[in-house]
Amino acid sequence: MLVSAVEGYRLWAPAYDTEANPLVWLEDRAPSEMIGDVSGLRVVDVACGTGRWTARLTAAGARVVGFDLSPEMVARAVHKPGIAGRLGLADAACLPIAPESADLVLCSLALGYFEDLDRAFGEFARVVRAGGRVVVSDLHPARTEEGSTRSFSAGGVVYDVRFFRYSVADMLRAARRAGLQLQCQRDVCFGPPEEDLAQQAGHIDFFLRNRHIPAIWAASWTKP
């Protein structure tokens, strides 16, 4: 059943942190090298979901605020250590953040839900300071070309969450129009860390079928 992102994550929220999700496993390490040391940095976690990155970056010494459009996902996030009071409900295209107030803007596994890439990257560029960075990761376009969907099951029903199919070129052009300068980009495939987790969770067939196709695309930009 096809559902909107808001409806999908309302239904997905209760199980989101407990389900084995190979893409989330991979995304846990994909942007890490791009993010680097965040101690003392002001970070905005856009579309923070259940606060996975908000909690991780807070524990690493960053001053993080996270925003998401799903009340149900944010309600789950507040229970993670150290991030109560750091979360809010907001549209990623209209963040309640002053211009140039962040050292780092992170958007993890969410860009495909934004109908207007120019608005999204324009907002990232607005809130990050000159010299600051924007880091984005998302399901790789190669995966969607192979037929991958953003799906989950709840109550015995399989739901597909509606998303927009952007190419890497689409995302790079939108960032460039927002005035951001590309530092690096990566096509990330499943590797040994995910193989161990897949074996433990009973998803080894999924891993073996998909290990040669890039699963996550990640990129980092600076604001001049």
Q: What is the pLDDT of residue 183?
A: 98
Q: What is the pLDDT of residue 124?
A: 98
Burial (0-12, 13-18, 19+ Cβ within 10 Å), 34? buried
Q: Is 178 helix (H, G, I), strand (E, B) or coil?
A: coil
Residues counted in the chain: 224
Q: Are 54 and 72 in contact (CB under 8 A)?
A: no
Rg (CA), the chain: 17
Q: Is 47 helix (H, G, I), strand (E, B) or coil?
A: coil
Q: What is the pLDDT of residues 78-123, one digit of tens each?
A: 999 999 899 999 998 899 999 999 999 999 999 999 999 999 999 9
Q: What is the pLDDT of residue 207?
A: 66
Q: What is the pLDDT of residue 110?
A: 95
Q: Are 24 and 109 in contact (CB under 8 A)?
A: yes
Ranking 30-44, 156-170, 200-214 by mean pLDDT, the lowest is 200-214
Report pTM.
0.92
The pair of structure tokens assigned to 165 is: 């199919």
Phi/psi for 25 (5° steps) reads -55, -45
Q: What are the structural domains of the chain? A: 2-189+215-222 (3.40.50.150)
Which residue in 98, 185, 75 sits closest to 137, CA to CA?
Answer: 185
Task: Calculate mean pLDDT across residues 166-171.
Answer: 97
Q: What is the pLDDT of residue 160?
A: 92
Locus of tokens 């992170």:
106
Q: What is the pLDDT of residue 146?
A: 76
